[in-house]
Homo-oligomer: A and B are copies of this chain.
Amino acid sequence: MEDTVAHAEKHFGQFCSLLAAYTRRTARLRDKADQLVRQLFAFANTEGPGLRAAMKDFAEDLAKVQDYRQAEVERLENKVVNPLKLYGAHIKQTRAEIKKLKRAQNNEIKQLQKLEKLRQKSPSDRQMIGQAETSVQRASADASRTTRQLEAAVGTFQRQKLKDLQKIFSDFVTIEMVFHAKAVEVYSGAFQTLENYHPEQDLQDFTAKMQGLYGHHAARPLAGSDPSLPVPWLPTSQVSAWVGGLIL
């Protein structure tokens, strides 16, 4: 009977520390994804309006998944790790009760053995044997009652253990399922956001900006375009501005 409880204590202890570690690693994954979200926002602000909008939408979706992951972490702590911790305390209490009952039982057994020996030693003393028999019967009844109490305690413990186990792992599965379902939903939106982004406008803007910075060389007649024709001379100020533009 003590084995049943000791066995449960060992396994539930291991489940508790494994699931606590699982929860912590989930929290660390969330931290890293949060960093990615911040990096995406920082990057978005340096890009053209189209990509900026797409990256911000994507970053918001990624942040939403992390919010759901945070909810997952909190629920795992409240509905899985903490009940397992409490369960550890409950097991300790049960063990103490069982020890107490065991001690009582052992005392009764010792008394039984003592009386049994006495009965065998002096089989002719009818009066003594009669007393011994009565005592054996009483001790036997006491031991039997204590055994029934022990059985009841261990039975209750076992019933509760199976129910708790079922509850805790069902909660684990439910929490995980809800998180994954939410993640699918949010990522579906994020996928659409990224698919709907078309870089053309951003590229046009980028080219325009670049030509603004480096001068619109294409609009200016170039010496190399037709070497046989006399090239109209550019005023000095214009050349300087253009050179300046190139240096900028």
A interface residues with partner B (beta carbon < 8 Å): 1, 7, 11, 14-15, 18-19, 21-22, 25-26, 28-29, 32-33, 35-36, 39, 42-43, 46, 51, 54, 58, 65, 105, 109, 112-113, 116, 119-120, 133, 136-138, 140-145, 147-148, 150-151, 154-155, 158-159, 162-163, 165-166, 169-170, 173-174, 176-177, 180-181, 183-184, 187-188, 190-191, 194-195, 197, 199, 202-203, 206-207, 210-211, 214-215, 217-218, 220, 222-225, 231, 233, 236, 239-240, 242-243, 246-247
- The reply to whether B240 and A116 form a contact with Cβ atoms under 8 Å apart is yes
Q: What's the number of copies of this chain in the assembled complex?
A: 2
A128 to B222, CA, bound (A): 21
Which residue of B has the minimal Cβ distance to A171? B194
Chain A's interface: helix, strand, loop or mixed, by majority? helix
A214 to chain B, nearest CB (A): 6
> Which residues on B sit within 8 Å (CB–CB) of A39?
11, 14-15, 18
A145 to B220, CA, bound (A): 12
